[in-house]
Structure 1
Amino acid sequence: MNVMLAARALQGSTALHLTETPVPEPGPLDVLVKVASAGLAPGMMKLLRMGAFKHLPTTLGHEAAGTIVAVGAEATGVSMGDRVRVHPNLTCRSCVYCRTDREMMCAQQAMVGHAAFSDVPMPLYAEYHDGGLAEYVRVPYWLVDRLPDGVSFDVGAKVHDLANAVRAYKCAALPLGSTLVITAATGSMGTAAVKLAPHFGVGRLILVGRSAERLTAVRRLAGGLHTETVALEDLPSVEDLTRRLRDLGPIDGVLDFVPDGPVMTQATLAMTTGGILVHMGGNNGPLSIPARVWMANCWRFVGTRACTRTDVQQVLNMLREGTLDAEELITHRFPLTEAERAVDLMQTRAEPIWMAVVNP
């Protein structure tokens, strides 16, 4: 039996385990991708601890790119040798959300190598829950996108993060020339949003993060866009963030990627009349602002948990046309044998990491 190395989650454990497992056998509607690069997302370990992985054991990793090495008899539009990225969002493809560019709202929405977000029956997730932190991954043929010539597998693996940032900008729908705050600006989603800001008509950026040194490094990703930074380590307390942002205002919108704590609330309170908060950080804490304050300020709140295929195609088009170069976002590369150490580094942020990938 052919076996491969994979980073697995096991029943009764909240750790990542490197194990040998059989190479998947593609069915008639499947393709088998030899993984060249798999993205790392520290949030998967948090979701594992929360019990969001509904099928265990499973191979982790929702971001992957590589080469098609086997094609099912009924798979169409794909060929052996195609360079592809794997789109992780599993959906029914027929409900009103799936038919109107809102497939992340589908009741069956789940992610290959990641979590499921509903209690309804999910036959696709049951079939395709194994992800890309492995030497091979099996997915239905409609979940692969060809990579443009010249785009590396590493960037291909991280297209999902870039597309998530595109979705956040679309939700914000900011007027041209707006001033935008990006929180957690030194992380994967934050750096993706900084890199894309010039493509969405942002006039000025304010980047919020823990470290002044790391924020300084991120500033260059915005190109020539006027950019200022606010380091939480330089404030007397997090509660001083609102005042500091107001001093830099007026602020038209906030893209919030912070997974916990009061930064979301503090940044929101700094917005000008008519401002919008787009949250994609999965914060479990309260947004402690009375409804009357939202009403009086005509503020808007939009939550979004994933990108759509349209967002992905927009990113791929920018990469194809050369208007977006995302290679510099990849700061760390690890072999699969070091996946455990890589995940630990992503979680602790002991050193500056923008985007990290594993190369099996």
Structure 2
Amino acid sequence: MSEMKAARAHQGARVLQLERVPVPQVNEHDVLVRVASAGLAPSTMKLLAAGMFRHLPTVPGHEAAGTVEQVGSGVDPALLGRRVRVHPMLSCGVCGYCAGDRQQMCAEAAMIGQGAFGTGTLELYARYHDGGLAEFVRAPHWLIDEIPDNVSFDLAAKVHDLGNAVRALKCAGPLTAATMVITAATGTMGTASIVLAEHFGIDRLVLVGRSAERLQAARRLVPHLRADTIALEELGPDWQTAGGLTARIRALVPAGPEAVLDYLPEGPGSEQAFRSLANGGVFVHMGGNPAPIAIPMRETMLGCWRFVGTRACTRDDTDTVLRLLATGKVQAERLITHRFALDDVNDALTALDERHEPMWMGVIRP
């Protein structure tokens, strides 16, 4: 077990390279996980191009689940053979952000297998930057979560994305019997939010996406909740400049929704969804949309609206997901629509980025 297969990112590369590399060495506080499933993220190559991977070459993949193969001398040996997921968020653990359930804002914030976002020394990231698109991944023992017996490795690998949805839903709350709009509802974050919504005070959804056909498939994720759909392709050619999305939401919900979860990565749909809010409503954005929102402050004052920008999730968020999955209250296995071999990782990333066919969540099985 001296070598393993891994997909590695190199400086300036547009694809990942499949290589044989040494298996990570386990030190005192480390756990080595044999990867059974690793999540696919459309941000991987974008972050590489943006220079967010600080140590190259590196193994991407911030979502990983598998069995514990080795533990360091300072780790409980009872973990050996256990089914686990790796929580990817690295942080200092002692600052005000970390103590306040906001680890993603820590100066040391970075992710195993993904980018570095903090402005500190990033010492942990220097050691644990290699991720899960490989046969093995190493992580500090405090970032290892055992997974319930009723949760597959594939779903465990995507707990982080479900945790992101929990974070967005928490930012919108507390809510009771609320109507919520979810944009980009047929993507990874949209579908994750749909299956979790009823556990956060939501009893009606308005799902916004490009395709009417794909929206109907997403709607079936919550057969017991009222869920209306708005297909952008059906709003008419001038919807982007004529406020067509705002008008359509208000036609369905005359008083406006209490909350909007916005995952749109571009375009004017974000602002138009914001303008649809009810008095006192909250707009939560987690889509990374570069388009500006030109809403006068007076309008937000009169509407008593809240705007919340948020990113990533915390350990408390993923613990919430694991509890809901363990009890069977959330059925999320069906969100895993695509499974690929490690040898096909570049085809998988292209499929996830282009989404020519319906694709909610995808995983790699090394």
Instruction: Check the 8 A contact 1:174/1:253 in 2, yes or no.
Output: no
Find the counterpart in structure 2 of residue 283 from structure 1. 289
Instruction: Check the 8 A contact 2:106/2:118 in 1, yes or no.
Output: no
Deviation string, structure 1 residues 162-183 (Cα, Å, up to 9, x no partner): 1111111111004211110001
Provide the C-alpha distance between the structure 2 equivalents of 1:78 and 1:29, rounded to a whole number of angstroms.
14
Matched, 1:312 2:314: no
Q: Which runs of 5+ in 2 are unaligned?
A: none
Instruction: Check the 8 A contact 2:71/2:77 in 1, yes or no.
Output: no
Deviation string, structure 1 residues 206-264 (Cα, Å, up to 9, x no partner): 00001000000000112310000001111113341111111112211100111122111
Matched, 1:262 2:268: yes
The code of the aligned residue for 1:321 comes to T
What secondary structure does 1:334 align onto? strand
Instruction: Check the 8 A contact 2:65/2:85 in 1, yes or no.
Output: yes
Find the counterpart in structure 2 of residue 157 from structure 1. 157
Alignment of 1:187-336 (within 5 A): 187-236=187-236, 237-238=239-240, 239-249=243-253, 250-336=256-342
Counting matched residue pairs gives 360
Provide the C-alpha distance between the structure 1 equivalents of 2:29 and 2:326, rounded to a whole number of angstroms.
28
Find the counterpart in structure 1 of residue 355 from structure 2. 349
Instruction: Check the 8 A contact 1:197/1:222 in 2, yes or no.
Output: no
Find the counterpart in structure 2 of residue 84 from structure 1. 84
Provide the C-alpha distance between the structure 1 equivalents of 2:220 and 2:96, rounded to a whole number of angstroms.
41
The code of the aligned residue for 2:339 comes to R
**Residue 40 of structure 1: how far off its partner (Å):** 0.4
Find the counterpart in structure 2 of residue 52 from structure 1. 52
Instruction: Check the 8 A contact 2:175/2:200 in 1, yes or no.
Output: no
Instruction: Check the 8 A contact 1:6/1:20 in 2, yes or no.
Output: yes
Find the counterpart in structure 1 of residue 103 from structure 2. 103
- TM-score normalised according to structure 2 size: 0.96
What secondary structure does 1:274 align onto? coil
**Residue 15 of structure 1: how far off its partner (Å):** 2.4
Find the counterpart in structure 2 of residue 75 from structure 1. 75
What secondary structure does 1:254 align onto? strand
**Residue 288 of structure 1: how far off its partner (Å):** 2.0
Instruction: Check the 8 A contact 2:92/2:106 in 1, yes or no.
Output: yes
The code of the aligned residue for 1:275 comes to G
**Residue 192 of structure 1: how far off its partner (Å):** 0.3
Give the RMSD, CA atoms, in angstroms: 1.3
The code of the aligned residue for 1:79 comes to L
Provide the C-alpha distance between the structure 1 equivalents of 2:63 and 2:340, rounded to a whole number of angstroms.
15
What secondary structure does 1:59 align onto? coil
Instruction: Check the 8 A contact 1:185/1:207 in 2, yes or no.
Output: yes
Provide the C-alpha distance between the structure 2 equivalents of 1:221 and 1:78, rounded to a whole number of angstroms.
38
Provide the C-alpha distance between the structure 2 equivalents of 1:344 and 1:188, rounded to a whole number of angstroms.
15
What secondary structure does 2:47 align onto? helix
**Residue 149 of structure 1: how far off its partner (Å):** 1.1
Provide the C-alpha distance between the structure 2 equivalents of 1:72 and 1:229, rounded to a whole number of angstroms.
51
Provide the C-alpha distance between the structure 2 equivalents of 1:310 and 1:195, rounded to a whole number of angstroms.
18
What secondary structure does 2:307 align onto? strand
What secondary structure does 2:94 align onto? coil
The code of the aligned residue for 1:138 comes to R
Provide the C-alpha distance between the structure 2 equivalents of 1:104 and 1:9, rounded to a whole number of angstroms.
23
Corresponding residue to 1:340 among 322, 327, 346: 346
**Residue 76 of structure 1: how far off its partner (Å):** 3.7
**Residue 293 of structure 1: how far off its partner (Å):** 1.5
Provide the C-alpha distance between the structure 2 equivalents of 1:295 and 1:329, rounded to a whole number of angstroms.
39
Deviation string, structure 1 residues 51-89 (Cα, Å, up to 9, x no partner): 111111110110000000000001247521010001000
What secondary structure does 2:4 align onto? strand
What secondary structure does 1:222 align onto? coil
What secondary structure does 1:97 align onto? helix
Provide the C-alpha distance between the structure 2 equivalents of 1:172 and 1:77, rounded to a whole number of angstroms.
41
- TM-score normalised according to structure 1 size: 0.97
Instruction: Check the 8 A contact 1:78/1:141 in 2, yes or no.
Output: no
Provide the C-alpha distance between the structure 2 equivalents of 1:288 and 1:119, rounded to a whole number of angstroms.
30
What secondary structure does 1:267 align onto? helix
What secondary structure does 1:272 align onto? coil
Provide the C-alpha distance between the structure 1 equivalents of 2:22 and 2:159, rounded to a whole number of angstroms.
28
**Sequence identity of aligned pairs in percent?**
56
What secondary structure does 2:334 align onto? helix
Matched, 1:24 2:28: no
Instruction: Check the 8 A contact 2:12/2:49 in 1, yes or no.
Output: no
